[in-house]
A = this chain, B = another copy of it.
C-alpha cells in the first residue's frame, strides 16, 4: 500500500514558503514501513483540492493533508473537505472549551475567528491539537484514510506524534522498510561512486537499494531493504556498512541522524575536552551548529566572531605585524587565532576560520572561496587551506563542515 501527502497553500506555489512538512511526514511514514509515493502541493482552492483528493484516493490507502486550516480568511479547506466527505460544519463544544482554555492560559482574548475553529465536519474524528487552535481531522471514505492537519509545522508535528502516527501505525503497518544512511564528507558524488563501485554491485544481489544524496559538503549514502524480518534486514545492511567502513574509512563521519556537530560534541564529551571557536568568514555559523545540539554547554565554552582585524588583535592576541605581512586570510594568522583563542577561553581545543566568503573581497592571489582553518589542541596546532567556489552561502556552509571535520579528525588521533 502507498501513502501520499497533499500540502495546501498558495505560499508553497509562489515560493514564499518552503514545504518542510512533507519531508518530515515522509520520514515518519518511512520509519513505520509505509511508502510515500507522491507529494503534491496545490492552491487553497476548491477544484484543486477536490481533484487532488480523488487522484490520491485512486492511488493510495492513506492521504495526509496539511495546511489550509488557519483562522484567517484565505483558507477554504474545511468547507471543501465537507463537500468531499459529504459532511457539514458543526460546533464541537469539546474543542471550543479547549480553545477557550488555550487563550485563557496565555492570558489572551479569544477572537471570533478562533471560536470558528471549533466548527468541524460532523463525520470526522478530531485529533487534538494542544499547541494551537486548528484541530487535526481523521476521515475514512471507501477504504481510504485521510488526515487533515494544520500547516504550522510545530502544531502539525505535535498532532502527528501524539495522535496521528500511533493510529496510522495500528491501522497500516505491515512489512518492514529498513533504512540506514552513511554520511560522508570530503569527497564528491562521482568519485565516491567510483571508489565503491564493486561494493555497490554486490548490494543488488542482496536486494538492498542504494541512493546517493548529495548536499553542499556532504554525500549521504542511503541503503534500503524491504521484507518481513526487521532484524535480518538490519543485519544485512550492517554487513555492507562494515565493508564500506573498510573501503572509505576517512570519509565516513556518521550514520542516520548523526551530524558533524553532534559527532564532534560526543567526542568532546567522551574525552572531557572543552572547545572554543574563532570565526571570521563563517560568521557564527559554526557556533550556531554547535549550539543547536542540546547539552552542548558540557563542552562548548564560547565563540568569538572576529569580523574586523581589530578584534582579531584585541580579543585573540593576533600580532598586528602578522596581519600586515601575511594578510588576515593566511596560515600564520589563522593559527594565531586558534592558539590565542584557547588561552582566552581556557579550553582544550580551539577552532578558527579565516577566509573570503564572497561575493566581494577576493584578489588574484586569494580568490573568493579561499579559506584557512586551524585547530589548536593539547598537541599543538594544525592548519589547512581550502579553495571553495563563488557562492557566499555555500562557502560558509562548506567551510563550517570542513572545520568541524578537521576537529573530528584531531579528536580521533
Residues of A within 8 A of B (CB): 10-20, 22-30, 35-43, 48, 55, 70-74, 108, 111, 113-114, 133, 152, 154, 179, 181, 189-191, 193-194, 200, 209-216, 220, 222, 277, 279, 283-288, 290-292, 294-297, 300-308, 310-311, 314-315, 344-346, 358-360, 391-394, 396
Contact = CB atoms under 8 A, between A and B. Distances in A.
A288 B284 contact: yes
Given A15-B26, A71-B193, A111-B194, 18 more contacts: A14-B36, A17-B213, A18-B18, A19-B19, A38-B41, A71-B189, A72-B189, A74-B212, A111-B191, A113-B194, A284-B288, A292-B396, A294-B359, A301-B310, A302-B304, A302-B305, A303-B305, A311-B345
Q: Which 4 A-B pairs give the minimum distances between C-beta atoms?
A: A284-B287, A283-B291, A15-B27, A15-B26
Given A13-B26, A23-B17, A292 B393 contact: yes
Contacts of A288: 283-285, 287-288
A235 to B, nearest CB: 21
A391 B43 CA distance: 30
A73 B12 contact: no
A179 to B, nearest CB: 7
B23 A20 contact: no
A133 B209 CA distance: 24
Contacts of A38: 13, 40-42, 48
B42 A37 contact: yes
Contacts of A27: 14-16
Contacts of A283: 287-288, 290-292, 296
Contacts of A48: 37-38
Contacts of A16: 23, 27, 181, 213, 220, 222
A308 B301 contact: yes
A116 B305 CA distance: 45
Contact of A284 (B35, B73, B285, B391): B285
17 contacts: A11-B211, A13-B26, A14-B30, A14-B36, A14-B222, A15-B23, A37-B42, A38-B48, A71-B190, A73-B200, A74-B210, A74-B211, A154-B394, A287-B287, A294-B360, A302-B306, A302-B308
Contact of A190 (B114, B213, B315): B114
A37 B13 contact: yes
A179 B19 contact: no
A148 B72 CA distance: 37
A232 to B, nearest CB: 21
Contacts of A295: 360
B301 A303 contact: no
Given A190-B113, A193-B113, A23 B12 contact: yes
B39 A43 contact: no
- Kindly name the residue among A13, A18, A74 whose own CB sees the greatest number of chain B CB atoms within 10 A: A13
Nearest to A299: B307
Given A194-B113, A283-B291, A305-B291, A41 B70 contact: no
A13 B39 contact: yes
B37 A40 contact: no
A310 B191 contact: no
Nearest to A190: B71
Contacts of A307: 291, 296-297, 300-303
Interface-central residue, A39, A190, A392, by most chain B CB under 10 Å: A190
Contacts of A181: 16
Contacts of A344: 314-315
B303 A308 contact: no
Contact of A17 (B194, B215, B306, B393): B215
A261 to B, nearest CB: 11
